[in-house]
Amino acid sequence: MKGITTRPVILTGDRTTGALHIGHYAGSLRNRLRFQNSHEQFLLLADTQALTDNADDRDKVRTSVMEVALDYLAVGIDPARTTICLQSRLPALAELSMLYLNFVTVARLERNPTIKDEIRARRFGRDIPAGFLCYPAAQAADITAFKATVVPVGEDQAPLIEQTNEIVRRINAAAGRTILSEAQAVIPEVGRLPGVDGKAKMSKSGGNAIALSASPDEIAAAVKAMFTDPNHLRVDDPGQVGGNVVFTYLDAFDNDRAMLAELKAHYRRGGLGDAKIKRRLDGILQALIAPIRERRARLAQDLSYVIEVIRRGTEKARERTEATKREVVEGLGLFML
């Protein structure tokens, strides 16, 4: 038959804990713009997962749903080609999570390197929310419910995909046939961007991020204050490129690779001042963000359109995830009504 193609299914998403920033753009958003041409893409507004470590800040979790959806649309995610859906309105995900929890042990959850690191970073101590400890099973539910075979996530999330595939094998073994397929983690080329202050992670809460809605002045101020090489005191001094945030960002966003290589060599040799490289980065970021900011401001004038996009996407996702849930319930040999 002509014209019928089945594209591989891709699922990614973001916890709704704040508007997105240029780190998200470099690491995931721009890849998603490409994936919507080659894959059947679902984007999950992961509000229930956000709740696992933000139960005391539900206002943030709720309001960030719109913020993240606005960011998606502003960068050019096209709802005709990508399905944007809301996790908390997809009951099959919660039901699958409950079923999967019987196929993982607490010890295995505690051993998951992603969870281990995150527990440490959040200083939970002994007071780990149960929902947080169990979120790898919930993420396995997300991935399998859509039958996603490709999951682009940051390197730090790779152990979650591994654990998902373990659950997939157990469910298939329990069912005696292949119901669920294993997923492959796709790690983006550009890793996590450091914050403008040089700290390991760019985050809104850390106050070291450049938002996708940043004004020209905010961008200029962030670049001006950006961490470079603290030992590069005079223009003539040789400078360090490694750990220099300006160069890290140029690596992520400067398309003129030959010019960038030359700038790095010049900086290392000495004779190239911070002001010059910052001017270059400022120009690049202004050009990148201006159309996103303008589109976002326009969309923010028409929130009912954005809500409609989420509603339609969630309806489509509901059909998909309910179908998988029925297969799993049946495969596990539960009573069917």
Interface positions with ligand TRP (CB under 6 A)? 11-15, 44, 46, 49, 139, 142-143, 151, 153, 157
Q: Which residue is nearest to ligand TRP (CB)?
A: 46
Our CB check for ligand TRP shows the closer of 11 and 202 to be 11
* CA distance readout (Å), 205 to 18, 21, 126, 130, 191: 8, 11, 24, 24, 19
Q: Torsions phi, psi of 12, nearest 5?
A: -140, 180
Please name which of 25, 29, 11 lies closest in space to residue 87, comparing C-alpha atoms: 11
Sign for the CA dihedral angle at 66, 71, 77, 83 comes to negative
Please name which of 324, 289, 20, 314 lies closest in space to residue 178, comparing C-alpha atoms: 324
Residue 321, Cα to own-chain centre: how many angstroms?
Answer: 21
Q: Considering the complex, what minimum distance in angstroms separates the CB of residue 139 from ligand TRP?
A: 5
Q: Considering the complex, what minimum distance in angstroms separates the CB of residue 182 from ligand TRP?
A: 14
Q: Considering the complex, what minimum distance in angstroms separates the CB of residue 2 from ligand TRP?
A: 33
Contact 113, 69 (CB under 8 A): no
Please name which of 56, 146, 52, 50 lies closest in space to residue 93, comparing C-alpha atoms: 146
Our CB check for ligand TRP shows the closer of 16 and 244 to be 16
Residue 229: how many other CB atoms lie within 10 Å: 20
Please name which of 191, 143, 196 lies closest in space to residue 171, comparing C-alpha atoms: 143
Our CB check for ligand TRP shows the closer of 155 and 330 to be 155
Q: Considering the complex, what minimum distance in angstroms separates the CB of residue 138 from ligand TRP?
A: 7
Q: Considering the complex, what minimum distance in angstroms separates the CB of residue 105 from ligand TRP?
A: 21
3-state secondary structure at position 43: strand
Q: Tokens 């090489």 — which residue? A: 229
Our CB check for ligand TRP shows the closer of 183 and 250 to be 183
Q: Tokens 């595939």 — which residue? A: 165
Our CB check for ligand TRP shows the closer of 9 and 214 to be 9
Our CB check for ligand TRP shows the closer of 44 and 211 to be 44
Q: Considering the complex, what minimum distance in angstroms separates the CB of residue 207 from ligand TRP?
A: 20
Our CB check for ligand TRP shows the closer of 46 and 281 to be 46
Burial label for 320, CB within 10 Å (0-12, 13-18, 19+), is buried
Q: Considering the complex, what minimum distance in angstroms separates the CB of residue 151 from ligand TRP?
A: 5
Our CB check for ligand TRP shows the closer of 139 and 321 to be 139
Q: Considering the complex, what minimum distance in angstroms separates the CB of residue 96 from ligand TRP?
A: 12
